[in-house]
Amino acid sequence: MKKLTAYIKSVLGIELEIQPLDNSMLNKLPMYLREGYRWHKAILAGRTCLLAELKNANDFGVAQIEKHFEQAKTTFNLPIIAVFSKMEAYNRKRLIERRVAFILPDKQLYIPEFFIDLKEYGKAVKKETKTLTPTAQQIFLLHILDRNQNKLLEQKTFKELAVLLKTNPMAITRAAENLKQHELIDVIGDKEKFIRFNLDRHQLWHETLNRNLLINPVLKQVYVDEKPSGYFMLHSNASALPEYSDMNPSRQEFYAIDKNDFYELQRKNGLVNTNNHEGRYCLEVWKYNPELLNEMALPDSSVVDPLSLYLSLKDNHDERIEMALEQIIDKTIW
């Protein structure tokens, strides 16, 4: 709190009077609010308010904090101001969008009820993505597909997840930040970090669909006259739908290929008569490795996983495909 009072003095030129909230007031709060925050009573610019400092930074969730503060404000009829020691720029943006007052000493002071909005300048703001990144989506889909919890992603450290997904720990860190940014997970732990999904698999799936967070895994389609030799590829698109639905096989053969493999084939001139219109085989170039989810969730399958298949075709308005996709979701999610 010394850092907080010094910050208020430096930016507003006024003294902040702070004292711990007395037990008579503290006991009016439910247990989870008493245990989740350190509460102080303060006088700022002649107005009484309450300061709430989150005890565990890993419990941070914008929607949750908003709900907690609404309850505390109803209880005390006083402005509630969150106090943080550190916070990402995109989370500050989300708090401002919800008009949640907060103070981040030496960084930002946002109290809409007091008409105060001050922040530092000259530092790069972390870009907020509107959708899941490819690696974040792989983690998300594996969790949904792992109905029997054989992989137990929530029990694996970031390093173990990196091995599982055949990537590096930094990629997992960025994916976790992306999932947390969209309030799908919490990150638990200090030295060794773990992810915790905050909804059950049915709710997670529909939440991400309703918010348009999931990406189409297909980057582009390319037609060729011959299948690339030396590459195992999974059936995709209409060639995969018969595996999960009553739809009949299509005449056109579709295969999914990881973008890195595709570009390697291009460099080696390993594609015969590539074009964007027609060919014996249609290669769907994927943003993430289509085989990886199958290895972990559907090891004996020759087609892409059902949820990625759904996402690759959900904007297709062919009535037969729409019916097939409904069957996929009924079998996979429910």
Q: pLDDT digit string (tens) for 203-248?
A: 999 999 999 999 999 999 999 999 988 888 999 999 999 999 999 9
| CATH number of the structural domain 134-210 | 1.10.10.10
Q: Edge-to-edge strand order for the sheet containing 281-286?
A: 218-224, 281-286, 253-258, 234-235
Q: Are strands 218-224 and 281-286 parallel, antiparallel or unpaired?
A: antiparallel
Domain spans in the chain, listed from the N-terminal domain onward: 2-119, 134-210, 218-332
Q: pTM for this one?
A: 0.64
Q: Cβ distance 244 to 207 under 8 Å? A: no
d(CA 30, CA 48): 21
**Could you report the per-residue pLDDT of 15-66, keeping only the tens digit for each?**
888 999 999 999 999 998 998 999 999 998 788 999 999 888 766 788 889 9
Q: Residue 276 carries which DSSP code?
A: S
